[in-house]
Amino acid sequence: MRAYNFSAGPAILPEEVLKEAQAELFDYQGTGMSLMEMSHRGKEYSAVHDETIANIKKLLNIPAGYSVLFMTGGASTQFALVPMNLLGAGQTADYTNSGAWASKAIQEAKLLGGKVNIAANCGKEIPTRVPSIDELKLTPGAAYLHITSNETISGAQWKVFPKHETLIADMSSDILSKPLDVSKFGLIYAGAQKNLGPAGVTLVIMKDELAERCPETVPTMFRYKTHIAENSLYNTVPTFPVYILCLVTRWLLAKGGLEGMQKQNAEKAAKLYAAIDGTGFYTGTAVKEYRSDMNVTFRLPSEALEDQFIAEASKLKLKSLKGHRSVGGIRASIYNAFPPAGVDVLISFMKEFEAKNG
C-alpha cells in the first residue's frame, strides 16, 4: 500500500503517471533507450515537448500572443528574472506581501536595485491571509504588480485576482488546480514540484510582447525572449521532468480538465476544513475567506500534541503532515493528485486522536 503523501513539495504524483513512467523508463516506446538518455533535439523528445506545450495551452485555454516556457531554477530564480527583465530604470514595481514566498520575491527585486512598492502587507498577520483587492495601494504607471497566488506555508490563497495592466503571479502551488483566465496576466510562473510534476522544471507562461522590455545588459540565458525564440531549447531542457509533466497534463485532460479538478479540489478542502471547524480541539490558521484549497494548515492545543499527532499519523501511512519549520503546526497538502480517499482517512484519524487526547 502506498502512503498518503501530504508533502508540500516535492509532492504527490498521480499513480497512473508513476506507473506509466515506470513502464517506459528502461525502454521508451521500443527505442531501446530511456527518454532520459535521448537528445533534447531528437524526434522522440521533441514530440513530448510539443505535446506538453499543447496540453497546457488546451487546459488553460491560453490565447494567442503567449508562450509556454520550460525553465530551470524553480520559482526562486523567477524572483530575480522578473525584475531583471521587466523592471526598467526609474520604474517602480508593485508587490503584495502575503507571506514567506511573496517576501522572498520582494527581497530579490530589492537586491537588483529596483524601486519596490509594497502595495499591501499582511505577511506577518495571524491568522494568515492574502490582501484584499480594496486595500492595495498601487503605483500609477508601475512596471507590474506581483502577487503570490497561494502561500504554501501559511495556507492562504487569492480567490479573486486584482486587475492590472501587467499582473504577474507566482502560482507554484495552485497552478492547473482550477480554470484561469490567462489573458488577465502578463506572466505566470510555477515550480513544478508542488502541483505539476517532479522538481527540475519551472513552467512559465508569458505574454510575448513583455519579453521585449528586457535590457540588452541582461545575460542571454536570463532573458525570457531567448527562451521564447528557441522554444525553451536554447540549452538542454530538463527532459525527464518535462516528460512527467506531459503525463500529468494527459491525466488532467482525461479527468475532465480543470473544471473537473476544481470541483474535486474544492470538495476535498471543504471536507477537511469542516472537520477542523467542527471541534475546539483543532484550530485552522488561515482566515476562512482566504483558506487554501491546496494547503490546509491547522494547530492542536499544544506542540507536544502536534508532535504526537504527526508520529501516530505516520505509522498509519499518513505522511508529511508536519507544518513548515518556520511556523510549526500541521499542514495537509492536498494537491490535484491527492486522492479524496486520503482526506477521509485523515479525518477519521483526527477524530480518533481527539477522542483519545482531547
Domain total for the chain?
A: 2
Residues 247 and 309 in one domain: no
Backbone angles phi, psi at 146, to 5 degrees: -110, 130
- The answer to whether 170 is a known catalytic residue is yes
Residues 6+ apart with CB under 8 A from 163: 184
* Res 5 pLDDT > 80: yes
Q: Are residues 247 and 286 in the same domain?
A: no
Mean pLDDT confidence for 343-355: 98
In a shared domain, residues 20 and 71: yes
Is residue 191 domain-shared with residue 232, that is, in the same domain?
A: yes
Selected catalytic residue, list 57, 94, 194, 251:
194
Q: pLDDT tens across 265-278, in order? A: 999 999 999 999 99
Active-site hit among 101, 174, 251, 293: 101
**Model confidence pLDDT, tens digit, residues 102-114:** 999 999 999 987 7
How would residue 325 be classed by pLDDT, with cut points 50, 70 and 90?
confident
Asked if residue 126 and residue 43 are part of one domain, the reply reads yes
- Look at residue 152 in the predicted model and tell me its pLDDT: 96
- The reported pLDDT for the residue numbered 1 is 80
Residue 54 has pLDDT above 90, yes or no: yes
- Mean pLDDT, residues 288-302: 97
In a domain, 318, yes or no: yes
What is the reported pTM?
A: 0.97
Query: Rounded to whole angstroms, what are the CA distances from 260 to 203, 207, 254, 265?
Result: 22, 27, 10, 9
Contact 116, 110 (CB under 8 A): yes
Domain boundary among 254, 277, 302: 254
Averaged confidence pLDDT in the chain: 97
Residue 90 has pLDDT above 80, yes or no: yes
Tell whether 179 and 319 lie within a shared domain.
Answer: no
Q: How far is CA 266 from CA 269, 292, 337, in A?
A: 5, 10, 13
Q: Is 158 labeled as catalytic in the residue annotation?
A: no
- pLDDT of the residue at 169: 98
d(CA 230, CA 41): 11
**Residue 3 is assigned to a structural domain of this protein:** no
Residues 112 and 183 in one domain: yes
Do 123 and 165 fall within a single domain? yes
C-alpha cell at 339: 486522492
Same domain as 329, residue 228: no
Residues 214 and 279 in one domain: no
Using DSSP, state whether 147 is helix, strand or coil: strand
Say which CATH number the domain at 23 has: 3.40.640.10
Residue 27, C-alpha cell as written in the block: 525502454
Percent of the chain clearing pLDDT 90 (strictly above): 96
Assigned C-alpha cell, 158: 487569492
Contact between 38 and 31 (Cβ < 8 Å): yes
pLDDT of 125-175, one tens digit each? Answer: 999 999 999 999 999 999 999 999 999 999 999 999 999 999 999 999 999
Catalytic residue among 94, 158, 170, 268: 170
Q: Is 319 a catalytic residue?
A: no
Domain hosting 273: range is: 257-357
